[in-house]
Structure 1
Amino acid sequence: MSGGKKRSWRCLLLRIGYAGFDVGVLLAVLLLAFLLYIHLYGGLMLSRHPEKLILQESSQITASDGTVLRRIPLPESGYRITAQLDEMPQLLIDTFLAVEDRRFYSHQGLDYRGMARAFLNNTVRMKISEGGSSITQQLARGLYLDRGQNLLRKLNEASIAVALEKRLSKKEILQLYLNQIYMGQGQYGVQTAAERYFGVSNLKDLDIWQIAALAATPKGPSLYNPAEHSELSTKRRELVLRIMHQQGLITYEQMAAAMKRSYQPPAAVKAEVAGASYIDASLQEAVRITGKSREELQTGGYTIVTGMNIGAQRAMEQTFSRAEFFPPDGQDRQVEAAMVMIDHRTGEVAALMGGRNPSTGSLNRAVIDARQPGSAFKPIIVYGPALESGRYSPDSLLQDRKNAFGTYSPANLNGVYRGQVSMRMALQQSINAPAVWLLKQVGISYARGFAAKLGLAMASADNHLPIALGGLHTGFSPLKMAQAYSVFANRGILNEAHMVRSISDNQGRVLYTHVSLPQQVISLNTAESLTMMLRQAVNEGTGKRARLNIPVAGKTGTTQLDLPGVSSKANRDLWFAGFASHYTAAVWIGFDRTDKDNYMTAGNGVAAALFAQVIGKALGGG
């Protein structure tokens, strides 16, 4: 070979060597960058979002007997109940490991054999159709990433998985995974899925075939969950059972027996009550009690036990669903109503409706101080204070004349004035003039103080005589009116009206328990005298339609519309507040906005009849 050719070959080899060196350096740099990215990205994500490692859990609200009224959905519109690893049967854990990640305890977040197999299969198919993801990678994806399929996302997934393995123990990772994983139909985690698909609350009560069905689901939650596509679910479950047998988790006989089982969904528990208004009010109360935000209470896995009596709430909802118990609707609006029933022995709200067709988040008329109570306010602001003062009794004679108090001149509805009338008769027939005269004698300041003891504090704008007839600047809610009347029913003792009985966290630790602090706020004699007069008002007076086959005490109330060009019989608000047995209740009926096209001509007997219907049903009368 000539010298020229030798030099040519030498140059070529040198160029190849230099190029190879450059490529090697480039690959080394890329590898270093890859390793640096893997090392840094995941750790950065975990540091920036520590909250991701605390799973949101659906809180639940229960009635007094433990009936679950509502399990609150998570922001992603799903449900999760978490479980500790030691609450799960070992077979469930081992089956998920056998199906999803057999080398879970031997790798550090990345199963390289699984990844290599997936890479080969994806290359052959020319698309990313297989992930080869370890349980840690699946957890990383579920907590931090979207559901897309691309190389950068897989790289991020791997980086976060490595960071998770450094930050958490294997037990912590596995527990997070089994509680985080999506199981179809809006169910997250094995505990939620077990309850939804099998009606099993204690995971250790799961049968082998049920465990297999759960482990079969994550591969395709919408395809393989037991409640949908039963044939696909059964085939996938049989595959899992074979894996369980191959891995020595179950015997052949157990596998064969489990394969014969067919899925039957748990009996659907039909919700007897909706309780939308009650639940909203309970959450509002829980926020005030705990200082936690509403979102935190809804997604922290709390159990809020309320004082709701299922029978009483059912009676109220059934009655509210029947149009015949309400006045006719207006021209363009439905007449509305609200009602609160309290067990005056404890102060627990037994039932509550904030509207005729309430829904979650809708206007809750039962707890809004927005309605003038009319004559239902007379026992609170006139007759109660007069009796409490010791200067008057039910038989005291009151002035019944057409009087003017400055510019204010109250009138009796029928235009009849008797000169004088007993207190019991004035209350029984709801006569206006004696009530205003008596308030003047007792003193507005003293009367307002009496009402405040019942939980009805008034604004400074209400410092005038029209309050004798319930003419208030703002008004009160049915909840507050029911609490005030409960003092009369409970021998002068006030038990604070409340819905929340207790609050516990997802570990069962009790964070709050209501402690009843009964207070004797008015005298026994005043309470008994008012009760006697209020029974006469029902038996012989304006509240006749509230009568039952047991003693009922109560008072009607009406506020008139008083608009030019509208009938003088037009009413704005209809009330009845009263008590029977151990229940005190207040009913309001009216329009959200009353005007010339939307008003009532019915009298307050409608509210009294609604009271009787609900209380009668709640006490077992039909």
Structure 2
Amino acid sequence: MLRKIVRYIMLLAVGGALLAVAGLVTAYLLVASSLPRVDTLADYRPPVITRILADDGSVLAELYKERRVVVPIERMPDALINAFVAAEDAKFFQHRGIDLVSILRAAIKNIQAGGIVQGGSTITQQVAKSLLLTPEKKFSRKFKEAILAWRMEQKLSKKEILSIYLNQIYLGHGAHGVQAAAENYFDKNVEDLSLAECAMLAGLPQAPSRYSPYRHFQRAKERQRYVLKRMVENGYISEEEAELAFAEKLTIHPRSRQHVPEAAYFTEQVRRDLIATYGEKAVYTQGLQVHTSLNLAMQRAAQAAVQQNLRNYDKRHGYRGPGKILSEGEASEFLADQARRLRDNPPEQGHFLQAVLTGWNDQALLVAVGDRHGLIAREGLAWAGELKLLSREDYLLTPDEAWGDAIPLPVGSLLETRVKQVRPDGSLELELEQTPEVQGALVAIDPHSGQVKALVGGYDFARSQFNRAIQARRQPGSAMKPLIYAAALDKGYTPATVILDTPIIYREKLDTGKETEWKPRNYGKKFYGPTSLRTGLAKSRNIITIKILEDIGVNYAANYARRLGIESPIERDLTLALGSTAVTPMELAKVYCVFANGGIHVSPTYITRIIDRDGRIIASVDPADFPDGAGPGQRLLQQKRERVISPETAYLITNLMESVVQQGTGWRAKALGRPVAGKTGTTNDLKDAWFVGFIPDLVAVTWTGFDQERSLGDHETGSRAAAPAWVAFMKEAASHYPVRQFKVPDSILFRPIDPKTGLLVPEDTPGAVIEAFAPGTAPTRFAMDESRPDARDFFKLDLEEN
């Protein structure tokens, strides 16, 4: 009887086993055909970051959906590989994708818990789940995962599987893969990691947030100890090595998104160009190395120059008052939160900080910044005008009309300040500041290569992403005059040509029958009589320019401007002489590059070379990068190079603009102490202020104005409101280039002339000046007796008629 029972049980067991096997086979057949192919993993190409680089190779910005830097496993130290294997899959090198013991152990724990609490997945299974399956926690997915893992082990080597795993795995704070994590946490490459650092990274996969070295360092250390213990148990390191590694002091480098804030306008323009050419998916996933023309030192100088110039302008127009008046409770809450933030980023000289007014004495305003005390010396408050210091209660009880011209500043006022000095006791000496409402832009271009070396599109990219250097069309005012003068030079005018600066009136009858009058005038509301072309440009005389434009023809001048590089719609009337045609700073920079480049137009460029993830050059401005010609998927970034004016005209207009700097409205540029050509620009209503200037190797344009157009205020000309930013920038930028003169074409003639008549005089004549002339344009007559009525009546305009 017992034998029958045993036989029956055995039959049941065999039958159950056969049914189980049949069930597994059936399940396998049902599931296997629907699973993704694993042979594609042999060419593992995950999303990787695109980097935008400055001209020296430093990183300006990173673009990515997953921050990953793929590195070959050969670069990974053995300690890193062993740490991950010991922590995640100790039998990785023995099993064939599935560790049945681990799966059984996990299954028992999951049954006890009534749900999935432990995975038991091998590294191979984790790769299968990450790349080929969804992350859902179901037994069906685990079954699929096991099948795929087994298949992967048939197709790939252990080394290949490890390489995929270590480049794919998420390790917290946006870092995918061990290289990105090494950069994130330790600011290192993987090959430079110590055993202690390797063990800390290997502890992260289980729960990257829970064990974050940034947020939970002690938990990360506990996990590190576990990894080191597992490495000892598996024979990878000794007990002594583990103890030394655990005792090693680690420096965690909190890593924000990689970008240079001063270059944000530039990198955003590059990003747009890349997406327009390659598409968003390629830009954010294909790991392009984008080399650009930007010089980081110049860019930082440009951003600082624009910001300081706008702040200086803003201070000239007074203080607008505190940003907010805080109650006692609001002030306490604000300061407590500020104190927490300042512990991670202590204030330093030059930092801008918000401060809460707490009181005052005869010498200073007393403020609080976080948990620190600060003071603002009264002697530095003159720019702010009349301030009325008072308590919160008096402020609340006093009607607004009672303040008159004074600005109320009650206790609790939230003030914008700049750190002047951090004292040894931690207290702060501060200066009162305010964020400007006015905006500015700056563009700097190498005129010979067309490479954009610096670009600032506004006061702060974080506040406004509108790029005024490229997107804003504004009237250039007198900065348009060199284009008119260059056109005149090609029509036979010379720097010595004399034109009468006298009142003129233009009358026009409208369709309605009504007659209108236009009476143009100079900025100073004066007229100066006979004036040479050189003086007319140097002093930015409006009447002179209008008369020249009328003589040479508006259409001729407009077409000439178009040839020089103006792409915006051109006003085809006499107001063109005064800069009525709105242009972008970039357009104006292109035109002045023609003058600086001897008459040759070169199209501006931001990108100089693009390299794909495999190290292959796919785009370049340098033909030498494609010695056999651009192949499939490659392109030469063609720059338009075209002679648009003669070398002689380019030199003469440059020489005239040197006079603008030496004797005229561009006098601030003399501070460079080297040859400089330039031109101020101011619109009649003072809505826009410009300065455009160049040395032989660099052209720069600065603009100042309000986004919603309104006057900058009395006397806020290009010289005052824009030129200081240009000078501050060029003092830094010009240091990158040797001091040299502008190149003089061999055909240029220099002759002594009388500046009053523009005629020849003996070289030793008192008051004679040496003037430059294009071939065939130098005067052949000598100056006559001043008493003769025709002494100045010899050139383009009939002086008696004018």
The normalised TM-score by structure 1 is 0.82
2:567 corresponding residue in structure 1? 457
SS at match of 1:222: coil
Displacement of 1:192: 0.7
Match of 2:161 among 143, 149, 173: 173
Corresponding pairs, count: 582
Give, in whole Å, the separation in 2 of the partners of 1:298 and 1:471: 42
2:441 corresponding residue in structure 1? 338
2:421 paired with 1:428: no
2:682 paired with 1:558: yes
SS at match of 1:43: coil
SS at match of 2:445: strand
Give, in whole Å, the separation in 1 of the partners of 2:462 and 2:155: 44
CA contact (8 A) 2:103 2:121 kept: yes
Match of 1:112 among 100, 123, 130: 100
Q: Deviations over 1:56-83 (max 9, x none)?
A: 11212222222222223x33xx521111
Displacement of 1:403: 4.8
Match of 1:312 among 276, 281, 298: 298
Give, in whole Å, the separation in 2 of the partners of 1:587 and 1:267: 36
Displacement of 1:158: 4.4
User: What code does the residue aligned with 2:709 have?
Assistant: T
2:46 paired with 1:62: no
CA contact (8 A) 2:568 2:583 kept: no
CA contact (8 A) 2:305 2:726 kept: no
2:264 paired with 1:276: yes
Displacement of 1:238: 2.6
Q: How does 1:235-254 map to 2 (within 5 A)?
A: 235-254=222-241
User: What code does the residue aligned with 2:89 have?
Assistant: D
Give, in whole Å, the separation in 2 of the partners of 1:166 and 1:38: 18
Displacement of 1:585: 0.8
CA contact (8 A) 2:53 2:61 kept: yes
1:374 corresponding residue in structure 2? 477
Give, in whole Å, the separation in 1 of the partners of 2:46 and 2:193: 24
Q: 1:445 to 1:106 in 2, by over 3 A?
A: farther
Match of 1:614 among 724, 729, 736: 729
Match of 1:548 among 657, 671, 695: 671
2:640 paired with 1:522: no
Q: How does 1:101-140 map to 2 (within 5 A)?
A: 101-104=89-92, 107=95, 109-140=97-128
Q: 1:228 to 1:464 in 2, by over 3 A?
A: same
2:485 corresponding residue in structure 1? 383
CA contact (8 A) 2:60 2:260 kept: no
**Which structure has the higher relative contact order (CA within 8 Å, separation 6+)?**
1
SS at match of 1:548: helix
The alignment yields a C-alpha RMSD, in angstroms, of 3.8
Q: 1:164 to 1:24 in 2, by over 3 A?
A: closer
Give, in whole Å, the separation in 1 of the partners of 2:15 and 2:475: 88
Q: Deviations over 1:414-473 (max 9, x none)?
A: 4544554321122122222332332333344443443344322344x644443222222x
Q: 1:165 to 1:330 in 2, by over 3 A?
A: farther
SS at match of 2:682: strand
2:283 paired with 1:297: yes
Q: Deviations over 1:27-80 (max 9, x none)?
A: 788545532343133228x89x99x963211212222222222223x33xx521
1:566 corresponding residue in structure 2? none
Give, in whole Å, the separation in 2 of the partners of 1:129 and 1:324: 59
CA contact (8 A) 2:61 2:259 kept: no
Q: How does 1:482-493 map to 2 (within 5 A)?
A: 482-493=589-600
Displacement of 1:362: 1.2
CA contact (8 A) 1:453 1:521 kept: yes
Give, in whole Å, the separation in 2 of the partners of 1:443 and 1:418: 24
User: What code does the residue aligned with 1:469 have?
Assistant: L
Q: Which runs of 5+ in 2 are unaligned?
A: 1-8, 321-434, 510-516, 623-638, 737-802
Quick check: which one's helix share is greater? 1
Q: Deviations over 1:142-180 (max 9, x none)?
A: 345565534454455446546655776654433222111
Quick check: which one's strand share is greater? 2
2:171 paired with 1:183: yes
Q: 1:167 to 1:454 in 2, by over 3 A?
A: farther
2:184 corresponding residue in structure 1? 196
1:259 corresponding residue in structure 2? 246
Stretch moving more, 214-223 or 417-426: 417-426
Q: Deviations over 1:560-588 (max 9, x none)?
A: 4xxxxxxxxx4322211112463311111
Give, in whole Å, the separation in 2 of the partners of 1:324 and 1:34: 73
1:499 corresponding residue in structure 2? 606
Q: How does 1:369-448 map to 2 (within 5 A)?
A: 370-380=473-483, 382-389=484-491, 391-401=492-502, 402-404=504-506, 409=518, 411-413=520-522, 414-418=524-528, 420-448=530-558
Q: 1:271 to 1:154 in 2, by over 3 A?
A: closer
2:32 corresponding residue in structure 1? 39
SS at match of 2:660: helix
User: What code does the residue aligned with 2:680 have?
Assistant: T
Give, in whole Å, the separation in 1 of the partners of 2:279 and 2:463: 17
Q: Which runs of 5+ in 1 are unaligned?
A: 1-15, 561-569
Give, in whole Å, the separation in 1 of the partners of 2:519 and 2:596: 30
Q: How does 1:586-605 map to 2 (within 5 A)?
A: 586-594=701-709, 600-601=713-714, 602-605=716-719
Give, in whole Å, the separation in 1 of the partners of 2:507 and 2:598: 35
User: What code does the residue aligned with 1:129 have?
Assistant: V
1:13 corresponding residue in structure 2? none
